[in-house]
Chains A and B, each alone.
Chain A
Amino acid sequence: MHAPVVAILGDSTIPALSLVNSEISDEFFFFYTEENKVNAGIFSDYCKATHTSKAIHFHLLPSIVKAGDIIGVVKEFVSAINDNMIIFVTAGAKQTILPFLIHSPQSTVASLLHSPPRIVIHDIGEESVTVEVNLTLATILQSRGWSYNQILRKGTIEIDTIIPSYNTNTGKLTFCGESYLKRNGTEHLIHKLNRSQKNDAKEADQTTIGALLQIAEDFGRNGAEYVIDGALRSPNKAVLPYYVRHRYQRNHHEEEE
């Protein structure tokens, strides 16, 4: 299993990170589009610092909207590589990763599955091989330039309302913030707030949701689970983006004011 791995660096960090932290190869070719330039730079720094023994190459692709140009770059790359390669199909848009396979259909295919997190390698005519994935929260955060010690930090950004966690059994990354009312133990008073308390709740919850959205920019909408926990007033509740989940254990019937 020493064929080089070809993968796309997408919005989510876990797929690429799982690859370099597994023992499936010593050589990796990561492609990224214009849109993912910044994240690719941070990931490259992470690889240089922590995977010195592996040959990890980074290649810029044209913008995702120039799909025809992307295919031109892929064709050139595939024709230059004579050896067999492993194509990692989990990350990247279809128009970025599938051309690799179309131009090299005999290649081995790898994909990342969760619960438990594992990379499955499918070679034509052979049994699939499963390689386990062991990541830590610190590694995942580091790969996007973040750290956590009571406070989430990236450069000058500090977020103290969001707690990150990584479930090693499922392979899921979660960022969770508590609603203002839950934080203050006043969820039961949701319909009895005065105007100033309503404003405080609105502002605080908007800040928490804003922090989740900012983190989602780095870890991808589908790259982690984003949760706001506790009673939330409208309109914050009604206009949550689809990738932010509202978790609330209701103990009583709610009534509108």
Chain B
Amino acid sequence: MSAPDHRTLFTIFNRNNPSPTARALRNLSFESAFVLIVDEKNFNKKHRENLKRLKTWMTGSPRFHVKQKNNPHGFMEWPDRLWKDEWSWSALLEKNIQFLSVKEIDISTFESAGQRDIVDLTSGTKKQCADIIRAIDQLGANASFVLQTRNGHTLNLSSGEELKNTIPLSFRERVWLSSGYIVDFTLRGEPKSGKKWSDCVKEQTKSGKILPNATEIQASLGLNHPINLEAGYWLEHAVTHMMSSWPQISESYIAPRLINPSCGRSAGACFFTISASLKSRGAQKMMSKHVKEIQRIGTIRDFAEKSEAVLRFMRDTEFSKKESAYVIDRLHSIEFDAVAFDHDSGHVYACECKSMTSITNGVLSRINSITKLAFPTYGTSILVYAGSASATSYGVHKISWPELSSSTVLEDLPLAGKTYPSAKSNGTQIQSTNRPIAPSQEQLGELLLILRKDPRDYVNFLKLLEKNGFRAKGTLKRINQMSEELGFTIDYDRRDSQDWIIWGSEK
């Protein structure tokens, strides 16, 4: 038995997703904790990585998560100017938490359990939990059994009492635990602004687009710059603010970016992203002091030598504040247009925003794919657009943006489309944007280098192409044609995973 005032927490490590274990450690009050790792010997690579991520989460920062010196993608610690302190969270008192590897649940594990102790049964199979309950009973320990509910409560399984968690896991922590990415964002959703977007005058163009009245919403939001309805950014803002006003949403962010925790990988991919974007005047101006060096590195033929030079450049260059911000904005592998967290159901709504009236199935498939990648268990894909019909299509909630003013829009979605009631249209004409073109051989090669530094699945590679203003159609065939020259092979069956391109020797 432990000392009378001492409270110990017993919980099982959830090998498929460490979030429930983290929730138990964060929300329960204890002096010491045992995290039982059951059957660790038979853990696969994913289970081991999940355990490592949980341990990193406890330290409060993913900054030093990747530290193997033999990392083939280039080891590099996060330099101060490329790291933001806000990417961390509150640490747990590690010294009080012990990881206990056990072959199976055994009565001896709980010999020290006493009346004040807590057993969290959120993780583990039901049979394992049953074994724990019976072991505790056999010992006469009379400990409390609790479970973390998806809506952020600790449920006492004996009394039925539910306590709201005071420090729920933040969005950043949840993403880290479930997918291992660092989250960067600049703006949060604001319910006040959401109400203004909901109440603003909407106009339907001749092409069927539903747009806000730009002058009116600008005045209502008190902005001193006009809203450009021809670029799609207004919709990201509208969506995030409108969703933030739903009672069940506790956090929402505009355009959060997900960054690989390996600085070597992220910085390497970022370098090639910057290099590929130097064709634009804006990028040239921003990186004017470094253009020559970037171009020099670009001419290095040997990939290993080039990687080395890239890392040196990213690590040792004294970027100005503005340049650092520009670089940090390009470190990510995945970007969502908007996300919102529902504290009632535990769902993360990942949104893609398209200021257009027709959506291709490819777009729907892409948003679904990246949602599953970042939030495998509780991710819900939403596509918000300027069209008029809302429905569920290809597993994605396709929503006409004005309908986000209702917090029950997702539950009310019809299977067949319903039409947004046409407002008195002012007949605003929106000019069509230029059609994207296929990348040149050289441009495609540059983008493949990003992929080499920061592997991502095929769908995300297509997204990268589109983001750089290129057409994605027909790309695979062209990549295949370049494979011999660049020294890689394509595994067509593994396009859903990050290793669909297998690089040969470091040429």
Q: Is the C-beta of B72 less than 8 angstroms from some C-beta in chain A? A: no
Contacts of B492 in A (CB 8 A): 250, 253-254
Q: Interface stretch among B87-95, B126-134, B164-172, B301-309? A: B126-134
Q: Interface stretch among B262-270, B282-290, B364-372, B445-453? A: B364-372
The reply to whether A68 and B155 contact each other, CB–CB distance below 8 Å, is yes
The reply to whether A67 and B126 contact each other, CB–CB distance below 8 Å, is no
Choice from B151, B396, B480 contacting A65 with Cβ under 8 Å? B151
Q: Is the C-beta of A255 less than 8 angstroms from some C-beta in chain B? A: yes
Contacts of B157 in A (CB 8 A): 71, 95, 98-99, 102
Q: 8 Å CB contacts to B: which residues of A144-168?
A: none
Contacts of A70 in B (CB 8 A): 160
A62 to chain B, nearest CB (A): 11
The reply to whether B137 and A234 contact each other, CB–CB distance below 8 Å, is no
The reply to whether B134 and A89 contact each other, CB–CB distance below 8 Å, is no
Contacts of A250 in B (CB 8 A): 492-493
Contacts of A105 in B (CB 8 A): 133-134, 136-137
Q: Is the C-beta of A138 less than 8 angstroms from some C-beta in chain B? A: no
Give the docked Cα–Cα distance between A124 and B133 (Å): 12
Q: Is the C-beta of A72 less than 8 angstroms from some C-beta in chain B? A: yes
Q: Is the C-beta of B42 less than 8 angstroms from some C-beta in chain A? A: no
The closest CB in chain A to the CB of B137 belongs to A105
The reply to whether B134 and A67 contact each other, CB–CB distance below 8 Å, is no
Choice from A68, A90, A106, A234 contacting B126 with Cβ under 8 Å? A90
Q: Is the C-beta of A172 less than 8 angstroms from some C-beta in chain B? A: no
Contacts of A238 in B (CB 8 A): 365-366, 368-369, 459
Total chain B interface residues with beta-carbon distance under 8 A:
43
Contacts of B147 in A (CB 8 A): 67, 94-95, 98
Give the docked Cα–Cα distance between A30 and B27 (Å): 33
The reply to whether A98 and B145 contact each other, CB–CB distance below 8 Å, is yes
B274 to chain A, nearest CB (A): 28
Give the docked Cα–Cα distance between A4 and B138 (Å): 23
Q: Is the C-beta of B436 less than 8 angstroms from some C-beta in chain A? A: no
B279 to chain A, nearest CB (A): 26
Contacts of B130 in A (CB 8 A): 87, 89, 98, 101, 109, 111
A135 to chain B, nearest CB (A): 21
Give the docked Cα–Cα distance between A109 and B293 (Å): 69
Q: 8 Å CB contacts to B: which residues of A237-257?
A: 238-239, 241-242, 250, 253-257
Contacts of B133 in A (CB 8 A): 98, 101-102, 105
Q: Is the C-beta of A75 less than 8 angstroms from some C-beta in chain B? A: yes
Give the docked Cα–Cα distance between A125 and B394 (Å): 52
Q: 8 Å CB contacts to A: which residues of B153-197?
A: 153, 155, 157-162
The reply to whether A255 and B134 contact each other, CB–CB distance below 8 Å, is no
A94 to chain B, nearest CB (A): 6
Give the docked Cα–Cα distance between A257 and B130 (Å): 54
Question: Which of A67, A72, A105, A256 has most chain B Cβ within 10 Å?
Answer: A256
The closest CB in chain A to the CB of B119 belongs to A102
The reply to whether B476 and A239 contact each other, CB–CB distance below 8 Å, is no
B-side binding surface: helix, strand, loop or mixed?
A: helix
Cβ contacts B99-142/A at 8 Å (1 or 0 each): 00000000000000000000001100011011001101110000
A254 to chain B, nearest CB (A): 5
The closest CB in chain B to the CB of A97 belongs to B126
Q: Is the C-beta of A221 less than 8 angstroms from some C-beta in chain B? A: no
A68-B161, A94-B126 known; A234+B365 contact, CB < 8 A: yes
Q: Is the C-beta of B477 less than 8 angstroms from some C-beta in chain A? A: yes
Choice from A75, A234, A235 contacting B160 with Cβ under 8 Å? A75
A95-B149, A256-B476, A257-B474 known; A67+B155 contact, CB < 8 A: yes
The closest CB in chain A to the CB of B396 belongs to A239
Give the docked Cα–Cα distance between A95 and B130 (Å): 12
The closest CB in chain B to the CB of A241 belongs to B395
The closest CB in chain A to the CB of B145 belongs to A102
Contacts of A90 in B (CB 8 A): 126
Give the docked Cα–Cα distance between A71 and B161 (Å): 9
Q: Is the C-beta of A34 less than 8 angstroms from some C-beta in chain B? A: no
Give the docked Cα–Cα distance between A90 and B476 (Å): 46
The reply to whether B365 and A239 contact each other, CB–CB distance below 8 Å, is yes
Q: Is the C-beta of A23 less than 8 angstroms from some C-beta in chain B? A: no
The reply to whether A89 and B127 contact each other, CB–CB distance below 8 Å, is yes
Give the docked Cα–Cα distance between A239 and B364 (Å): 8
A243 to chain B, nearest CB (A): 12
A31 to chain B, nearest CB (A): 15
Give the docked Cα–Cα distance between A109 and B129 (Å): 11
Q: Is the C-beta of B475 less than 8 angstroms from some C-beta in chain A? A: yes
B102 to chain A, nearest CB (A): 18
Q: 8 Å CB contacts to A: which residues of B364-399?
A: 364-366, 368-369, 372, 394-396
Q: Is the C-beta of B361 less than 8 angstroms from some C-beta in chain A? A: yes
Q: Is the C-beta of A217 less than 8 angstroms from some C-beta in chain B? A: no
Question: Which of B138, B151, B361, B459 has most chain A Cβ within 10 Å?
Answer: B361
A65-B151, A68-B160 known; A239+B362 contact, CB < 8 A: no
Cβ contacts A102-117/B at 8 Å (1 or 0 each): 1101100101000000
Choice from B160, B364, B366 contacting A67 with Cβ under 8 Å? B160
Q: 8 Å CB contacts to A: which residues of B349-365?
A: 361-362, 364-365
Q: Is the C-beta of A69 less than 8 angstroms from some C-beta in chain B? A: yes
A105 to chain B, nearest CB (A): 4
Give the docked Cα–Cα distance between A75 and B147 (Å): 17
A232 to chain B, nearest CB (A): 12
Cβ contacts A77-97/B at 8 Å (1 or 0 each): 000000000010110001101
Give the docked Cα–Cα distance between A109 and B134 (Å): 10
Q: Which residues of A contact B (CB under 8 A)?
A: 65, 67-72, 75, 87, 89-90, 94-95, 97-99, 101-103, 105-106, 109, 111, 124, 234-236, 238-239, 241-242, 250, 253-257
Q: Which residues of B contact A (CB under 8 A)?
A: 121-122, 126-127, 129-130, 133-134, 136-138, 145, 147, 149, 151, 153, 155, 157-162, 361-362, 364-366, 368-369, 372, 394-396, 459, 473-477, 480, 492-493
Sorted from nearest, which 7 A-B pairs have the closest CB atoms? A71-B160, A105-B137, A235-B365, A256-B476, A238-B365, A68-B160, A235-B361
Other 10 A-B pairs with CB < 8 A, given A111-B130, A235-B361: A71-B160, A94-B129, A98-B157, A102-B145, A102-B158, A234-B362, A239-B368, A242-B372, A250-B492, A250-B493
Can you name 6 A-B residue pairings with CB atoms under 8 Å? A67-B147, A89-B129, A90-B126, A98-B126, A235-B365, A239-B395
